[in-house]
């Protein structure tokens, strides 16, 4: 993705601006790999000597000295956002804590997923089904507002100490220019346990909001850092509710959109005078290209692409005209690809 920019300076300036904005990393004077490795080994051996973990658990989490490496930070552009900002990616594949992260994620994620299924949006189809139930129960009024908000830099700005405190509460109810940096806020996006830890922190953050929505028979759902909700309250009261949610923690900030029509994931949703209308949404930056038909991919791949696109069009389109419009888009996409 680096070649997407005509000037390397532009890329580096945006990366530096992001680091300055978040304040999530501090520069270190020396390579911390050996120190971190020794701390992890000491911690695990200490837990084993106190019989707090078993031998097989120790083996799962213990890092291998000849394989460990520092995580490295890189950025990829977000072409669908004005100004093409950068998305930070940390590669933690061989860091000393990888084994611990994978082990904790394997244990805790199933427990979390089990208890938050009702407020978790897994895809556009799931959201549409919840909206259809909302309509069937006669909760969708002509005055109903649809609201989405994005949590800015959730992984990067995730408060570390508070997240660990919430983690204990839940069961009860990088080198640049030859420099080293330590992340003091948040976690690495690609670490096995970061997503689970972020979800558990958000579980704490959203509890009061979920209770309010349930009490008024409204929808609340979250897909990682994207949140969708409905409300029949006035715009002033909706904004007041979201302002209060925005004060939960200084690191967690919301970018909201409220109206009778909104975009969420790959779905366009509209409250048209009390009638629900949905259709497929394509981001402006999305180009109509797929795997070229002349490539050497197995032939079933191309069939699956067409089947998947048509199935999504059927599931997402609430009207025949919306389906026909998406069908034409699919046809053009296939023509572009020969």
15-70 pLDDT, tens digit each: 778 777 777 777 778 888 899 899 999 999 999 999 999 999 999 999 998 898 88
Reading the chain (338 residues) residue by residue, the pLDDT tens digits are: 344 544 677 777 777 787 777 777 777 788 888 998 999 999 999 999 999 999 999 999 999 988 988 887 778 777 767 777 777 777 778 888 889 888 888 888 888 888 888 889 999 999 999 999 999 999 999 999 999 988 877 766 666 677 667 666 655 553 445 565 555 555 555 567 778 888 888 888 888 889 999 999 999 999 988 999 999 999 999 999 888 888 887 777 888 899 999 999 999 999 999 999 999 998 877 777 777 777 777 878 888 888 999 999 999 999 999 999 999 999 988 888 76
Q: How far apart are CA 69 and CA 72, in angstroms?
A: 9
Q: How far apart are CA 323 and CA 21, in angstroms?
A: 43
Domain extent listing, the chain: 2-112+160-183, 287-338
Helices (H) and strands (E) in the chain, counts: 11, 12
Beta-carbon count within 10 A of 164 CB: 13
Per-position b or e across 131-154, b if 16+ CB within 10 A of its CB: beebeeeebbeeebbbbbbebebb
| pLDDT tens by residue, 295-322 | 777 878 888 888 999 999 999 999 999 9
Q: How far apart are CA 244 and CA 109, in angstroms?
A: 28
pLDDT at 3: 45
Q: List beta partners, residue 222.
A: 120, 227
């Amino acid at each position: 993705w680096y070649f997407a920019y005509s000037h390397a300076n532009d890329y580096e300036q945006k990366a530096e601006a992001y680091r300055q904005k978040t304040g999530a990393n501090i520069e270190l004077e020396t390579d911390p790999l050996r120190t971190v490795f020794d701390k992890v080994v000491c911690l695990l051996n200490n837990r084993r000597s106190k019989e707090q973990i078993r031998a097989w658990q120790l083996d799962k989490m213990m890092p291998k000295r000849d394989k460990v490496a520092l995580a490295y930070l890189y950025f990829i552009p977000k072409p669908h956002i004005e100004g093409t900002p950068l998305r930070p990616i940390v590669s933690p594949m061989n860091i000393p804590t990888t084994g611990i992260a994978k082990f904790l994620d394997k244990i805790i994620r199933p427990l979390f997923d089990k208890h938050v299924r009702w407020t978790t949006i897994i895809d556009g189809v799931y959201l549409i089904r919840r909206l259809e139930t909302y309509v069937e129960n006669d909760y969708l009024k002509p005055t109903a507002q649809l609201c989405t908000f994005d949590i800015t830099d959730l992984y990067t700005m995730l408060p570390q100490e508070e997240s660990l405190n919430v983690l204990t509460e839940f069961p009860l109810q990088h080198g640049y220019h030859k420099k080293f940096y330590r992340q003091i806020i948040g976690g690495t996006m690609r670490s096995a346990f970061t997503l689970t830890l972020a979800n558990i922190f958000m579980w704490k953050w959203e509890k009061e909001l979920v209770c309010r929505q349930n009490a008024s028979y409204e929808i609340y759902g979250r897909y990682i850092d994207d949140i969708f909700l409905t409300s029949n309250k006035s715009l002033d009261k909706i904004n007041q509710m979201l302002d209060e949610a925005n004060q939960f923690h200084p690191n967690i900030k919301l970018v909201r959109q409220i109206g009778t029509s909104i975009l969420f994931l790959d779905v366009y949703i509209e409250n048209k005078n009390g009638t629900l209308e949905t259709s497929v949404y394509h981001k402006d930056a999305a180009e109509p290209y797929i795997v070229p038909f002349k490539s050497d991919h197995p032939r079933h791949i191309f069939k699956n692409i067409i089947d998947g696109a048509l199935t999504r069009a059927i599931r997402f389109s609430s009207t025949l005209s919306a389906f026909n419009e998406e069908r034409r888009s699919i046809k053009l996409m296939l023509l572009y690809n020969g």
